[in-house]
Amino acid sequence: MATEKHSSFVCEIPLKDTPAIERHLLVRLDCARMVYNACLGESLKRLNILRESEQYREALNMPKAASGTKTAKDRTAAFREANKEVGFSEYDLHAYAKQFGHSWLGQHLDSLTIQKIASRAFNAVQQYSFGKKGKPRFKGKGSFDSVEGKTNTSGIVWRKDRVAWSGLVIPAMIDSKDEVIKHGLSCRVKYVRIVRRKISAKNRFYVQLICEGVPYRKPKNTTGDGRVGLDLGPSNSAISADTDNHMKLEKFCEPLDGRQKEIRRLQRKMDRSRRANNPDNYNTDKTIKKGINLEWENSKIYQKTRSSLAEVRRAQAEHRKSLHGNMVNRIIRLGDVIKLEKLSYRSFQKNYGKSVSFRGPGTFVSILRRKAVNAGAEVIEFSTYHTRLSQTCPACGAIQKKTLSERWHVCECGFGPIQRDILSAWLAKYVENNRLDVRQAQVDLPGVELLLRAVSSEIQPAMGQGQPKPNLAMGQSRSQRIEGMIGSEAYCGATHGCDKRAANLTFSKNPRL
């Protein structure tokens, strides 16, 4: 009988770690690292054997089909049999990891913790085999920072106000006035995780209680009523909501810019120190020599700067997480139906790596989905192929392709100039079933056109995106320009057929123009 699943949330509490407790925890974390590396190596070995087997090749050559069909089920069953033949499964890896519990490692790690470590290694290799993530790396000394149990009955367990783990008792620092912690302690604990963080070059340990239920919500974080349209880019974000015609265009996680400058300064300092201490490792054109094993001499100044850089990056990650949470709460307060384009954030990483690395738009969307479910809101992600928000003119329905460098929407019908991000966010509210309802957008456009212009003019000069190109037909009224466009390829109304570019949209001629 399958176990019934319940929603969970994490309650994090700092631990009182004395030097003796810290020493024990560091030893156990290093033992966990050894088990992880062994399980990771065995999983990669079995994956290579699997890919060379005939059963796997036959399953791979079977035709793909829609999920749920007989052909798809047969293909899945063939892969399952191939995995079973070479022992490439989570439970097979548990059986392999069982040997560590009978060795000297078993003096520091319990059997349930070892099983979770094995599952962690297998899941990393499985994601790699599916092509969703890169090849997992082995952990170096001091780089394994967390262990967790499977239940709260044995192994790593939570008892009232402390953590107990195989004879080691660690008290927690509980703030009785913190409503979040009080809510977490009032819920049933499923299992426990111990996390190590390096803050200012010192180890700090925390306990994460995975509790049953929903997380605590502050009274101010209510759920709004209405639609919210989002346009999220690698560096900018635009929000448009039904509530009071709210519109905002801003730089995404703008407070992080100052930290990024500090990171760059420390990186340059490290590079200068490294070059001064290792001149023989560089070519005459100041590039690092390749094809030979290089030995690096790191001075104390270099090591101190590296520690400072790690601390700044840790603080940046915490600040980014806080900014993401604040922005998500602000969006949920505006409405309970949140609509945004379904984007490839891996493509963002390839094309805008520097901006994405410290703003994290993909992480923001994952937090938005999770918090929306807990708040009773809905997040709808739609295809950009069918909607084409940034290419569509809501006034006349014309579709015109734009390059990424064109940040302003200026149409020949006279509509514009409007910044394309805020326009896309506003149009996102009118997407239903992966189709843009231009008819309804045209009805609502006269009431928000001035607001769209005002929001566009306020923020864009400060964001350095330039000014819009001049409108070639600016001397005519919009009605005159519409009359001149009827019948041309640039205009599409409900009274006549749509061209191929507008086949997926619903249009109507706006009588107010």
Q: What mean pLDDT do residues 257-280 have?
A: 91
Q: 511 in a domain, yes or no?
A: no
Nearest to 251 by CA among 419, 451, 449: 419
Q: 314 in a domain, yes or no?
A: yes
Q: 2 in a domain, yes or no?
A: no
Nearest to 126 by CA among 94, 89, 84: 89
- Give yes or no for residue 66 having a pLDDT over 80: no
Give the mean pLDDT of the chain.
85
Question: 263 and 372 share a domain?
Answer: yes
Tell me which residue range forms the domain holding 309.
227-382
Question: 310 and 241 share a domain?
Answer: yes
Question: 442 and 490 share a domain?
Answer: yes
Question: 122 and 48 share a domain?
Answer: yes
Model pTM score? 0.79
Question: 367 and 307 share a domain?
Answer: yes
Q: 394 in a domain, yes or no?
A: yes
Question: 439 and 346 share a domain?
Answer: no
Q: 3 in a domain, yes or no?
A: no
What would the pLDDT profile of 377-410 be if each residue is shown by its tens digit? 999 998 888 888 888 888 888 888 888 888 888 8
Instruction: State which of 382, 408, 426 marks the end of a domain.
Output: 382
Question: 236 and 274 share a domain?
Answer: yes
Q: 218 in a domain, yes or no?
A: no
Q: 296 in a domain, yes or no?
A: yes
Question: 376 and 300 share a domain?
Answer: yes
Q: Ranked by mean pLDDT, which of 48-57, 341-350, 473-482 comes out on top? A: 48-57
Count how many Cα atoms sit within 13 Å of the Cα of residue 67 in the half-sphere of its side chain. Answer: 0
Question: 442 and 366 share a domain?
Answer: no
Q: 510 in a domain, yes or no?
A: no
Instruction: State which of 212, 246, 275 marks the end of a domain.
Output: 212
* Long-range contacts (CB closer than 8 Å, 24 or more residues apart) made by 380-384: 380/337, 380/338, 380/339, 380/340, 380/431, 381/339, 381/340, 381/341, 381/342, 382/339, 382/340, 382/341, 382/342, 382/428, 382/431, 382/434, 383/341, 383/342, 383/434, 384/341, 384/342, 384/343
Instruction: State which of 329, 355, 382 marks the end of a domain.
Output: 382
Question: 436 and 303 share a domain?
Answer: no
Number of domains into which the chain is organized: 3
Q: Are 412 and 460 in contact (CB under 8 A)?
A: no
Question: 120 and 247 share a domain?
Answer: no
Q: What is the DSSP code string of 381-403?
A: EE-HHHH-GGGB-TTT--B----
Question: 240 and 323 share a domain?
Answer: yes
